[in-house]
Amino acid sequence: MTGHAAGGATPLPIVIAVDGGGSKTDAVAIDLDGTLIASARGTTSSPHIIGMPRAVELIDGLIDELLTQTGPRTIAQTNVYVSGLDLPAEVAAFKTALVGSAWADAVVDNDLFALLRAGTGEPDAVAVVCGTGINAVGVRADGLVIRYPSLGIISGDWGGGWHLGEQALWHAARAADGRGPETSLVAAIPAVYGLDTLQDVIEGLHFERIPNSDLAQISPAVFDAARAGDAVAGSLVDRQADEIVTFAATTLRRLDRLDRPVPVVLGGGVIGARDERLLAAIVSGLAAEAPLAHIELVTAAPILGAALLALEGAGAHSALSRAREQLESRQAVPVA
């Protein structure tokens, strides 16, 4: 059976899945046999970046775009996973904002759950995302879920493209005026923005000619400089690896699974760029902290996990393999 009507047959119901990250939002419609029949993409839908009303509006527009492509279809399940829904109050506020919409009964949660499902179906598992920001989640077979506020410095977080960019600029500014060690980032950072000097970047940020969120654009330059042997950039890459390992090991410990063979799913643009120094440090660091844990590196876009969860929610377990085959080729956008 296929999802396309033939000879007047009634089309299969569909599921809708949405994954909204710090840089982009993907949405797909899939038949209950696993056939991908529509897709749409937009910019970030993180409420931390664009606010709750705009996040809901953006996703609503993407779902409308899907339904325009599919035509009239019965919707069996809608699952929406969004970066920035880190606190129970934020999830509740997002659901409240959906009242009256066509997808008001959607399953809504943090996008980490989409990443987790993209990497494993194991009942005991950990996922760490490192893209624009950094966060982690852990699940256990008995229903225990470990979450983090993920509100940046105020909740103890460091890492992701934005923090890497911020710290790179801090070091470069100190190198430029003599307060810190020399670094090639002094020249590399202006090039990111097509500017001549580091002072141009500093003033651009100060006078808001450069949006503060654009600090994440510096991240690839940090990894390039580290690969070229820059000590300052290398220290930032090593710090990022340490933070990822700390998140993973801490979550395993809180799950009481530090000494068990649990999958640790890693994803997000910074990790997905597969920088050798970063990945080697993560592997060695996690081996020291949790020797039985095994890494599952997800380079597919997390919409894969969102789609699998939507199909599972609709009871379409036989469709999972087909959906995975069609969505695994969609790659996460690298940040490094």
Asked if residue 312 and residue 250 are part of one domain, the reply reads no
Asked if residue 274 and residue 163 are part of one domain, the reply reads yes
CATH code (residue 208)? 3.30.420.40
What pLDDT shows up at residue 336?
54
Rounded to an integer, what distance in angstroms lies between the CA atom of residue 296 and that of residue 94?
30
What pLDDT shows up at residue 3?
46
Asked if residue 308 and residue 171 are part of one domain, the reply reads no
pLDDT, one tens digit per residue, over 34-80 is 999 999 999 999 998 899 999 999 999 999 999 999 998 999 999 99
Give how far Cα 99 sits from Cα of 56, 85, 94, 187, 256, Å: 11, 17, 9, 50, 38
What pLDDT shows up at residue 6?
47
Is the pLDDT higher at 21 or at 61? 61
Tokens of 97: 């904002």
Asked if residue 214 and residue 279 are part of one domain, the reply reads yes
Whether the per-residue pLDDT at 231 is higher than 80: the answer is yes
What pLDDT shows up at residue 1?
31
Give how far Cα 91 sits from Cα of 81, 95, 110, 323, Å: 10, 6, 8, 27
What pLDDT shows up at residue 332?
67
Please tell me the pTM assigned to this model: 0.91
- Count other C-beta atoms under 10 Å from residue 288's C-beta: 10
Give 8's pLDDT tier (boundaries 50, 70, 90): low
Domain contains 9: no
Asked if residue 289 and residue 159 are part of one domain, the reply reads yes
Q: What residues make up the domain containing 22?
A: 14-111+302-327
Whether the per-residue pLDDT at 2 is higher than 60: the answer is no
Domain contains 128: no
The CA-based angle 145-311-23, given to 5 degrees, is: 65
pLDDT, one tens digit per residue, over 71-86 is 989 999 999 999 999 9
Q: Where does residue 165 fall: left (phi above 0), alpha (psi -120 to 50 degrees), or beta otherwise?
A: alpha
Rounded to an integer, what distance in angstroms lies between the CA atom of residue 273 and that of residue 278?
10
Domain contains 336: no
**pLDDT, averaged across the chain:** 93
Asked if residue 321 and residue 208 are part of one domain, the reply reads no
Asked if residue 244 and residue 276 are part of one domain, the reply reads yes
Rounded to an integer, what distance in angstroms lies between the CA atom of residue 305 and that of residue 163?
26
What pLDDT shows up at residue 334?
66
Q: Give residues with Cβ within 8 angstroms of 91, minimum separation 6.
A: 85, 108, 109, 110
Rounded to an integer, what distance in angstroms lies between the CA atom of residue 198 and that of residue 181?
15
